[in-house]
Amino acid sequence: MQSLNIAATGMLAQQMNVEVIANNIANMNTTGYKRQRAEFSDLLYQDHRRAGANSSDAGTVVPSGIQLGLGVKPEAVYRISEQGSIEMTDNPLDLAVNGRGMFMIEMPNGETGYSRAGAFQLSPEGDIVTPDGYRVQPGINVPPDAVGVTINANGGVWVDLEGQVEPQNVGQLELARFPNEAGLRALGDNLFVETAASGQAAIGVPGQAGFGSVLQGAVEKSNVDMVKEITNMVAAQRAYEMNSKVITASDEMMQSVSRMR
């Protein structure tokens, strides 16, 4: 009975669906996290009677035929890049991107990572870095005698120096955007890297056409909607239970056949 295998594929698919939902819920407070959604597709079909085949010598054809599906398979886990809500923190090094664009991060292996998490800090040398100490590109250094840091909506970084009236510009933040952000490969630690699926990064200044602006003293929260995730989890659980009942029913049917004399 194919129903046993079909229901098994359904249970595996819903197990993966619950795992994706669980990861969304676990990251509901992760800065800059983008929720994910599991996508599925049906498996190949067995043709027991092909639609359109001749059904008689008179030229009549089968109008619909008999096709039996073989179950379901995971197709993709899609990352939804919609804007998360902005939370004010009053920390001058916390930055939120309002719109498209990602911060560029210099990773230890020399590659460039990309992130929406703008909870930055200063290194012992005065560089603006991530919580893991990775430098934000292009490298911006805050002088040790700075008494204040101001980052405007266009990404310009200005510092107030003791004894000087006019602020001093120490750098310009840049953002990167991709044709297909869902194609980026997640590394963990709020970092992504470019892939062939994401396309090449387009780099620009915040506020330019196609790029979001930067908001100082704020971070972008996760875009996870808890109500939707709980609803999706309940639906996935019910689907899993229904597939398990299909296996139970198929097993009982096979037992009935085996008891026939």
Q: How confident is the model at residue 261 (pLDDT cuts 50, 70, 90)?
A: low
Burial of 112: CB neighbours in 10 Å, binned 0-12, 13-18, 19+:
middle
What confidence tens digit (pLDDT) does each residue in 206-219 have?
Answer: 999 889 999 999 99
Angstrom CA distances, 140 to 13, 143, 151, stand at 46, 10, 12
Give the helix ranges, DSSP H, for the chain: 2-26, 226-258
The CA-based diameter of the chain, rounded to the nearest angstrom, is 102
Is a pLDDT exceeding 80 seen at residue 200?
Answer: yes
What confidence tens digit (pLDDT) does each residue in 76-123 have?
Answer: 999 998 999 999 998 999 999 999 999 999 999 989 999 999 999 999
Judged by average pLDDT, the poorest of 10-14, 130-134, 247-251, 256-260 is 256-260
SS3 at position 15: helix
Judged by average pLDDT, the poorest of 70-84, 188-202, 247-261 is 247-261
What is the rounded average pLDDT of the residues 61-79?
87
What confidence tens digit (pLDDT) does each residue in 34-56 have?
Answer: 999 999 999 888 887 887 788 77
What confidence tens digit (pLDDT) does each residue in 147-168 have?
Answer: 889 999 999 999 998 878 888 9
Distance CA 79, CA 63 (A): 41
Give the mean pLDDT of the chain.
Answer: 91
Q: What is the pTM of this model?
A: 0.84
